[in-house]
A and B are shown apart, each in its own frame.
Chain A
């Protein structure tokens, strides 16, 4: 993998993977301020596929489909990512279209796109699990942009104007920090020249990161959603955890592997599903962001099991906070977590996303090797220590269930 600096100052990493039919391209934009109006960046990224001065939305959609070009523009918690996947022979057309989108997007259909987005989000919220998960983020990241969910966007998107969109896009193009990753069976010189030609208007103008970390949780937060026809209770319980930059990151990966992210052999799976038959789905998830992170446990269970499930969570969390894990469990967690990382780079697109993300973080595209080394060096004591440090703090709990079961569990 080689690193280039384009004429506009943007850093691009390029890797030639021989004998692969499709090339992947990622462009990261680092967000440096909160959305004043929820849904702004979502609406913006959606409108990038809704037509330019040269192509109507329909013409653009047809052209992409005719060449089987996969253009995805997405908003994540800390960045916006342009993700392109194309057959190697279509490289010239791909960059011509990308340039047209960057230079000539019209934002004309923004009112219509609002209607579409609202409809899609309302449809999502007909899922009990999505409804509860949205509420969980709202609860743990109270008053912080990481907590903005579908409900806030549905309510807030109306206030977005065309000027807001143009300003946000100009900020994206001319100011925000950017980086690029390209992986495929490609000529590095050709791709560099193409990027210099087609992306020349993009600029970087360092601006202050105005975002702030989410406030600590001072006391237990509980959110309840009464849903009378729910066949299962949806339970999310989470804690604020450190960001990806933390020295503790490798230990948290292992903690998560042991507790509930490792498929069929994690502690939560074995205890709550295999031994107690409480659920089909139970797991733990660690989501690291730039400013903080969150670690949650989830179960979908028959509503009458709410209390038993919460006790199960409590027991497993307490156990990992107070009892040192065995040497065997540590070694298994390490080989498990390290082995799983092979999956993150199996295709050109996955590899471009991962290595581009490491560059975006400023950790370097070769950070994967360093991370693996750090995972190998993690001790049992490290895991005990971080579990004690973070799980001893107040949590955020969100439960969706019929009222009578919430009452029976003492939650109402």
Chain B
């Protein structure tokens, strides 16, 4: 048996500590015990648009689609059919820092489904063959005579679908303008030109490079005994000496000192806008937690400042919807304020948000607001511990984006240490009303 480095993490709201086993090749296996009928098995790969460039943008996501197209042992479709016929939810997702594949399945009598799921999942992760007939030949995107359409077209349809979503349009625009050189500036899904022409060999090379053992964490959440299961996971995740890969280091970008405004147009009737800010790296637990609280206080729920001051207390509000969002990334997260508004009131809509942002770091917040945000964060964490799939996702995020599951153990304690002064100082540092990246989507004139 190979040497394993074992770590225990006290995960709030779970009955037993979460166990991490790190193998000699760097592959990590995590067990989270949760009673119930369902099991969640997932593998998180430390790659996404962070490892892409202008030539291969979208390759991580395209590969995610192609991973379902069969292995030496199992033909395309067999994985989905076998698992879904037992009631499983099977899927995958790609984002800036990671790509993950998951199966959530009823465990069945005597955990009957576990072994089969693990075998299929490990096989998919380790031996994707990407048959040429499944990916389809490269083609000219302007050629309207293409008859045989395969997975390239599926992804191109996904790109097309996103072009009809106003929030996606405004998000992509703000995201692009927030960065100068960092790979995060690209849309994770890529574009039609690249997807229609990228070669199968390029994708296979990308797979071999980034799906290295040290880049992968496999997580098993459910009512299982790790001692019974660990040897099987190790046996099935046989990387056959595949090399480790050291991740590239990128220059972390900081917010510009001036406002960056851009406006795009579409055939719509209302206006959409986003303010974007660059935040700290995801492993800076205290700072990220403070920013989570700032987002809560500013824009989450009916009692938040933006909702109260710009909608609820105004006789004729110019905003239809207003909220905040916080995405955490390895090389620094994004804080967003987003609104849908009456387009004839565009300037007022922008200025109203600026005023509210400014108040956070000039006037500060009340103790009552602070306590409210603390309670909401704790309740949200409790909620994310209710299902095996949410537990799997939380662990996957911390293992992959922060490289540190200890953050989970410390999270609730860190919340308790935060003060109103922390909120004011962190807001001042990260969300200046005068240097936002602003993207506005307006109705075509």
Contacts and interface: CB of A to CB of B under 8 A. Distances in A.
Nearest to A70: B379
A279 to B, nearest CB: 5
A232 B153 CA distance: 13
Interface of A: 19-22, 49, 57-58, 61-62, 64-68, 87, 112, 115-116, 119-120, 122-123, 125-129, 227-232, 262-265, 270, 273-274, 276-281, 300-302, 304, 331-333, 335-343, 346-348
Contacts of B379: 22, 68, 87
Contacts, number: 176
B371 A343 contact: no
Interface stretch (B41-49, B78-86, B208-216): B78-86
A347 B388 CA distance: 10
Interface residues of B, number: 72
B169 to A, nearest CB: 10
Interface of B: 13, 15, 36-38, 68, 76-77, 80-81, 84-91, 104-106, 136, 144, 149-155, 157-158, 160-161, 163-166, 266-270, 272, 301-303, 308, 311-313, 315-317, 319-321, 340, 342, 368, 371-372, 375-376, 378-380, 382-383, 386-388
Nearest to B380: A68
Contacts of B376: 65, 68
Contacts of A229: 266-267
A66 B151 contact: no
A279 B266 CA distance: 23
A339 B163 CA distance: 35
A66 B387 contact: no
A122 B320 contact: yes
Nearest to A281: B161
B84 A263 contact: yes
B139 to A, nearest CB: 11
Contacts of B272: 126
16 contacts: A57-B302, A57-B312, A66-B368, A66-B372, A68-B378, A68-B379, A87-B379, A116-B311, A119-B270, A119-B342, A229-B267, A281-B161, A339-B87, A339-B105, A346-B388, A347-B387
A294 B149 CA distance: 31
Closest 3 CB pairs of A and B: A339-B87, A277-B149, A119-B320
Contact of B90 (A123, A232, A264): A264
A409 to B, nearest CB: 15
A28 to B, nearest CB: 22
B91 A263 contact: yes
Given A62-B303, A263-B90, A264-B68, A278 B85 contact: no
A312 to B, nearest CB: 12
B160 A232 contact: yes
Contacts of A301: 157
A343 B87 CA distance: 9
A276 B371 CA distance: 54
Given A21-B382, A127-B166, A340-B87, A263 B80 contact: yes
B157 A265 contact: no
Contacts of A265: 77, 80-81, 84-85
